[in-house]
Structure 1
């Protein structure tokens, strides 16, 4: 079997609406880890729960599962609307620590009027305002992660010194409707910056993705065809163009955006799993995307067929790794560890 020269990246959603047993989520994440997926996603929002049955906190669920898993990345949706950026930064950094460098987050917004009233806003802002705010949050959380230098902790019991205060930094950030001074209350995460992901299917979030995201999802319909391929190509080129306009070089390691085609999957037989492998291989060979984010219709059936049907075919063709060569999500995605912007001469990417 030949090693892939351009790694194929795979992610899968483990959403289970109405399921509140953490064991079910743990089984799904461990199964995805057996299939060497780069990461799992778990959605979240401030909207009303389906059927009034309640809702799980995605970040809390994946933090609970982190110590029980070993290699797979954990990427919850975190809603930036109505949420203090300082708290977002602390929560995602904590997930990175408890997972030993396997955390990411999908930037979410909350456009509903009911959520706005619940949080005290008179009306929900329009989508362009929400995504402008979300971009600012994505910016300031990385600044807060950099507000501690990597070696800021001393932990010297003899002298009673825990922190070198000269290695803590104020971010002094003014955003739309909020300000953050810093420094953070959580040390710099193991990855430097946990991975930031954005659903860039629509134009407004695509602008935020081009400026701040490490990973961008582009959704397709349930019947991927030539039209879907054209749409994916156009979205990827638009992302790259917008990234260059913001001073990012998408052709370099530091400016790279991993573009994943986000596909709904409904697999009933092993033949369906082989057919999906053909689609993945074909789109990947044509350079349509850097990988795929699968959204199972039936969480139990589809994930099992992905891991035991689709993945082995891709591994047999030399397109997908058979083990995790690294330990962090950034390593899985071939993304460098960012240098600390406040200590650029002391630390290397």
Structure 2
């Protein structure tokens, strides 16, 4: 792999450890102002990390004594980080089960605009009665049903991103023409649970399609993951088998529409390799040390993954160790590249910009 492993860091409050906020190095107020997330993202960017992900859920955190019982909205937090970073990718988690697909795609497109083409999102689902009660729009549904719906949401989002052609904006003050109406398109999308007419209210994102990721937290998510460009798999004894299964699902899923979807389509011996796969793991290198984690990452690379998503126990303690100690070790072992790439997130990941399916030149 010439570019090396993709590297990602998860931002979740003060860290994955529920008690991380209590450390003397943490100002608890910085969690709710976004400053903790900003500092972590900037440290990661300076070290050459490719992207940061932002954890979220519709359900409120448990109201437990000595734990932070609030969480900032992931999309809003990514928007807070975007103007104070330059190169690192930004992927907030968005639960699609109770959220309007039209608003989801518009929000992600907006993030891509304000970040200069560095945005993506992680599609997630909810099966809990708590989330259903909070939103109040529908009853909870089984995992298989919610993940099937998520695939429709992803498809609808990509079509809406294409509903504006790249040159639809004119901005001709002299004639009073600001948009070419012929280059805006209805998508007329229908699924078993929702329909969208379009076009979007946001011009086509700089990347064409911001990066879509899926975290495989349940077996039902594996089939949906075939539609993503980034897939986050948990570490397990059968990691290599899961990677192969995922890519086989992608091979079956990708047909003539693969180019429009903007998926990573690499041919090896006539086979479609499929999405980029990152192993996702909770880590605390400030306790366990760097060499042990580096060896674990080396083993993951041997299992065939394209990268790693590290979920630090403490942002303030673990991210500096990852940035200043782990990344140099991984470079010495030839596992990651220099991390100096700028431009769009798609370009950084080696993914091409999708052709607009509605553009006249594409027909």
Provide TM-score, normalisation by structure 1.
Answer: 0.90
Structure 1 pair 136–122 and aligned structure 2 pair: CA distance change class (3 A) = closer
Distance in 1 of aligned mates of 2:292 and 2:130: 42
Aligned match of 1:158 in 154, 171, 174?
174
How many Å apart are 1:117 and its aligned residue?
2.0
The 10-residue stretch of structure 1 (128-137 or 245-254) with the greater mean CA deviation from structure 2: 245-254
Residue 32 of structure 1 pairs with residue 44 of structure 2: yes
Structure 2 gaps of 5+ residues are 15-20, 22-30, 259-263
Distance in 2 of aligned mates of 1:251 and 1:187: 26
Distance in 2 of aligned mates of 1:107 and 1:232: 21
Structure 1 pair 161–188 and aligned structure 2 pair: CA distance change class (3 A) = same
Aligned match of 2:233 in 212, 218, 233?
218
1:267/1:273 contact within 8 Å kept: yes
1:256/1:335 contact within 8 Å kept: no
Distance in 1 of aligned mates of 2:163 and 2:138: 34
Distance in 1 of aligned mates of 2:254 and 2:274: 12
Provide TM-score, normalisation by structure 2.
Answer: 0.86
Q: Which residue of the partner structure matches residue 252 of structure 2?
A: 245
Q: Which residue of the partner structure matches residue 215 of structure 2?
A: 199
Distance in 1 of aligned mates of 2:160 and 2:138: 30
How many Å apart are 1:55 and its aligned residue?
2.4
Distance in 2 of aligned mates of 1:267 and 1:309: 9
Q: Which residue of the partner structure matches residue 49 of structure 1?
A: 61
Residue 276 of structure 1 pairs with residue 293 of structure 2: yes
Residue 9 of structure 1 pairs with residue 10 of structure 2: no
Distance in 2 of aligned mates of 1:32 and 1:176: 41
Q: Deviations over 1:218-255 (max 9, x none)?
A: 012xxxxxxx3x42111111111111111257652897
Distance in 2 of aligned mates of 1:24 and 1:13: 12
Distance in 1 of aligned mates of 2:290 and 2:2: 24
1:324/1:332 contact within 8 Å kept: no
SS at match of 2:285: coil
Distance in 2 of aligned mates of 1:176 and 1:324: 44
2:36/2:315 contact within 8 Å kept: no
Q: Which residue of the partner structure matches residue 233 of structure 1?
A: 240
Q: Deviations over 1:270-311 (max 9, x none)?
A: x71122122223432x24311100011122211111111110
Q: How is 1:164-203 mapped onto 2 (pairs within 5 angstroms)?
A: 164-203=180-219
SS at match of 2:32: coil
Structure 1 pair 153–182 and aligned structure 2 pair: CA distance change class (3 A) = same
Distance in 2 of aligned mates of 1:34 and 1:149: 35
Distance in 2 of aligned mates of 1:274 and 1:308: 13
2:93/2:124 contact within 8 Å kept: yes
Structure 1 gaps of 5+ residues are 221-227
SS at match of 2:151: helix
Q: How is 1:1-349 mapped onto 2 (pairs within 5 angstroms)?
A: 5-16=2-13, 19-51=31-63, 53-121=69-137, 123-210=139-226, 212-220=227-235, 228=236, 230-248=237-255, 252=266, 256-268=274-286, 272-284=289-301, 286-343=302-359, 345-346=361-362
SS at match of 2:150: helix
Distance in 1 of aligned mates of 2:188 and 2:283: 45
Distance in 1 of aligned mates of 2:185 and 2:195: 15
Q: Which residue of the partner structure matches residue 224 of structure 1?
A: none
Distance in 1 of aligned mates of 2:186 and 2:317: 49
Number of equivalent positions: 333
SS at match of 1:318: coil
Distance in 2 of aligned mates of 1:294 and 1:181: 39
